[in-house]
Amino acid sequence: MIRPIYLYGAEVLRQTAAPADLNDKEGIAALIKDLKDTLVVADGCGLAAPQIGVSTRVVIVDGDVVSETYDYLKGFRRTLINPVIVSESEEKTSYSEGCLSIPGIYCDIVRPKKMTVRYYNEELQEVTEEFDNFACRMIQHELSHLEGDLFTDHAAPVRKKMISGKLQNISKGKVHPHYNSRLK
C-alpha cells in the first residue's frame, strides 16, 4: 500500500523509533511492502518507517535510482530491520543530501565514508555488512531517521540559517511534492 510521506514538522520524524518485533513476521512484511510501494511512487533512494508514520526500526534503500551517477549501485537494494552501527570510519566524505520528508532542500553533509552495520534482512536473518561511499551515505541517512535525526540537523550553521524559512514553510504545509504527503 502506498502511504503518505510525513514532512518536516511531523512529530514522528523526531521520535526515536522502537525496535521491530521480529516475532511479528506478517506485520514486518506488510511494513516493508508499504515502504517499497511508497518509495517507488516517490522516486527516492531510501525510506525509513518513521517517514510513513510508523515509529519502528525498519529502513529500505534502493541504489537503482542513483545508478546513473553511481553505477556500482545498480541492483543495490537492502532492507535493514533493527539495524545497529557496529563501526564507522574516521575518514569522512561530504555529499549533497536531500530527503523525501524535506522536499526541495539540499545540503552538503559530512558523514563517515565507511561503516559496518548489523541488522536483520527481510528473511529475518542476522547480517553484518560493511558499506562504503554512496551506499554508506544512503544507509546512514535512513538510520538517522530512526533516531529522530534529520539531515538538516547536520548542515553548516550558515546553511541552516539559509534554509530556515523553507523549513518553516514545509512545516506549515506550504509545499507540494509530487507524492502524497502529510504533516500529522
pLDDT digits (tens, 9 = 90+) for 152-172: 999 999 999 999 999 999 999
Among 68, 123, 130, 142, which one carries the catalytic annotation?
Answer: 142
Q: Can you give the pTM of this predicted structure?
A: 0.96
Name the β-bridge partners of 142: none
CA distance 32 to 157: 35
Say if residues 101 and 86 touch (Cβ distance below 8 Å): no
CA distance 85 to 79: 15
CB contact set of 170 (below 8 Å; sequence gap of 6+) = 7, 8, 9, 102, 103, 105
State the cell numbers at 49.
518507517
Say if residues 22 and 60 touch (Cβ distance below 8 Å): no
Predicted confidence (pLDDT) at residue 184 exceeds the cutoff of 90:
no
Predicted confidence (pLDDT) at residue 138 exceeds the cutoff of 90:
yes
pLDDT 10s digits, 91-125 = 999 999 999 999 999 999 999 999 999 999 999 99
88: annotated active-site residue: no
